[in-house]
Amino acid sequence: MKKSVSGPRHVMARGLLLVVASVIVCPAAMAQRFDEEQAAPWWVDVGVGGANLSSPGPAPGIDQGGLAASLDFGLRFTPHWGLGLEFGAVAPSHGCAAWQCEVSAPEFAPAFTRLFAVSEFRPGHSGWRLRAGAGLSRYCYRAHWSSTAWSWTDTLDMALLLLGDGPLDGRIDGSGGYLCDAHKNALGGAVSVGYDWRVSTRAPVSMGVRLSAEAADFSARGPDDLPALRHRAVMLTLHLKFD
């Protein structure tokens, strides 16, 4: 009687088919699950809150409170991982924003802006949000006042005017603000942990709170005898997210 050798081959063939099916079906299942759990694979986030700024000595501008704001948007490639861009600013609530505009050097308190690439991780199906980012940090050390410069207040006024169907007659100038004449750039980084609460199961809107820390080291090289400045900031912000 002839022995059959097809048994192991059938087992191997079925195993190979199972692997191939898994390779094909699993990404599709993940995509379907992603569509079910997240209405859109993108997010837009607006945040505002308070901050504490410090510049370890001998740099000026040591230990000051201030305001923090951010706007970021990105894409999620899985329900848990996403990449995006964040534009943010942190500004002291007192002090002098221009170098040598006061007799005392510690009064120097510039506002810092950042443009960071960020990676966001959402563990499990919780509301926790873990982030890390890196990119360009900047501060202005010499500016002048312009009576026609555009400001954030003008942007808000314009938005309210458009929402109210107000007329736009003639040329529209800003209400005034500072224009930067000289600035310094440096590589910076930030990390944060936050938690979001879904506002409604029908609308892709959530609110959350975020604790963040950012850092950037600005060298002493440059005009106007600027000292080295090691920027450090801790921020606690409230967020409105569309995702």
Q: How far apart are CA 137 and CA 110, in angstroms?
A: 12
Phi, psi of 79 (to 5 degrees): -60, -15
Segments making up each domain of the chain, as ranges: 1-37, 39-150+176-242
CA distance 65 to 88: 16
Portion of the chain with pLDDT greater than 90, in percent: 36
pTM: 0.73
Q: Which tens digit of pLDDT belongs to each residue from 124-170?
A: 888 899 999 999 999 998 888 888 777 767 766 766 666 666 555 55
List, for residues 90-108, the tens digit of each pLDDT value.
Answer: 998 887 878 777 656 667 8
Q: Which architecture characterizes domain 39-150+176-242 according to CATH?
A: Beta Barrel (2.40)
Q: What sections of the chain are H helices per DSSP?
A: 6-37, 152-163
Query: Residues 175-223: pLDDT tens digits?
Result: 777 788 889 999 999 999 999 998 877 778 899 999 999 999 998 876 6
The residues that bridge with 87 in the sheet, in sequence order, are 71, 115
